[in-house]
Amino acid sequence: MTDIAVVSDPAAMSEWSDGVRARKKRIAFVPTMGYLHAGHMALIEEGRRRADVVAVSIFVNPTQFGPTEDLARYPRDLPGDLEKSAAAGAQVAFIPETATMYPPGAQTFVQVRELEKGLCGDRRPGHFVGVATIVLKLFNIVRPHLAIFGEKDFQQLAVIRQMVADLDVPVEIVPLPTVREPDGLAMSSRNAYLSPDNRRRAVALSQGLNAAKALRGSGETRPSLLVNAAKEIIQPKVDSLDYLEIRDSTTLAPLAVVDRPAVILVAAFIGGTRLIDNVRL
C-alpha cells in the first residue's frame, strides 16, 4: 500500500524516535489533522531537506473544536493521507486514538494567554488551549529536532512559538509560506466543503489581502486605509466577515501605524465554511 510505517501507540512512537536519535539522525515533524493537500506535502518535503527522517502525525484533535464546530464532519481520508505522506518523503505516521491522547482523568492543559487573545482566539474560545496542549503532547511523544508549520494559520504559529520558548521545549519551529492554488486561494482541508460557486467567491480573500499589500507597497501606512482596500474586495463576496485586521507580525499587537513588519489577517464565512488567510505587509 504505502512505504511508510504506521504507529498508533505513543510509547512505540517514542521508541522509534529514540532509535533514530541514537543513530545521530535528525527528525523533522509535521503535525496534521489529515485530509492532506499540497500545502501539507510542501511541509513534509521541507522536512526532508532539513532532516534525515520525517515523521507526520494524523490526529483530528477534539480539544481545539468548539461545541458547534465541525469536528464530526471534518474531512478524513486516511489511506490517501498515508499515500501522500509517503510520496512526499515521510517515513513514519503517528496516528493515535483520541482515548490514548486524552485518557480518562486527564486535566492538564497549556494556555498561551496573550497571543490567544483576539482574531481566532476570540471567535473560537478554547481553540488555542487545545492547539498548544496537543502540540506539546505530540512533541513529547515524537521527540523531533524540528517541526514545520505553515503560515496560513498565523496566530497558531505564534502561539506554538511562544509555548516552545516559554516552556524550554527543545524543538526548532520552522515556518513555511502559505501554499496557494493557482488562483491564489490558500490551500486548506476545509476547502473541500466549498461548492463550485463558493469556491469561486473564496478567491476574494487573497485578492483583497493582496490589494492591501500593494497599497502598503506604495507607501500607505494607515491601517484603516489598508484594511478598507481589502474590505472593498472581500466583503461583497463573503456571507459574513469574521475579522479583517492588521497586526504586528511577531507580537500580534494591533498597530496604529504600519511602520514595522506587519500582517493583515482575515476570517470569513462563505456558505457555512469558515476560511482564514493572511498576507505579510
- The 3 state secondary structure assigned to 70-86 is CCCCCCCCHHHHHHHHH
Query: Which grid cell sits at 54?
Result: 520525517
Distance CA 142, CA 14 (A): 6
Q: What angle do CA 150, 155, 158 make, to 5 degrees?
A: 80
Alpha helices by DSSP H, 102-153: 120-123, 127-142
Q: Please check whether residue 112 is in contact with residue 166, taking contact to mean a CB–CB distance below 8 angstroms.
A: yes
Judge whether 40 counts as a catalytic residue: yes
Reported residue count of the chain is: 281
Q: What are phi and psi of 37, to 5 degrees?
A: -130, -175
d(CA 210, CA 264): 9
248, 278 in Cβ contact below 8 A? no
- Euclidean distance between CA atoms 145 and 29, whole angstroms: 8
Contact 266, 209 (CB under 8 A): yes
d(CA 239, CA 80): 32
Pick the catalytic residue from 37, 40, 127, 145.
40
Q: Which three cell numbers stand for residue 79?
A: 489511506
CA neighbor of 155 nearest in space, from 264, 33, 234: 264
User: Please, what's the largest Cα pairwise distance for the chain?
Assistant: 56
Catalytic residues: 40
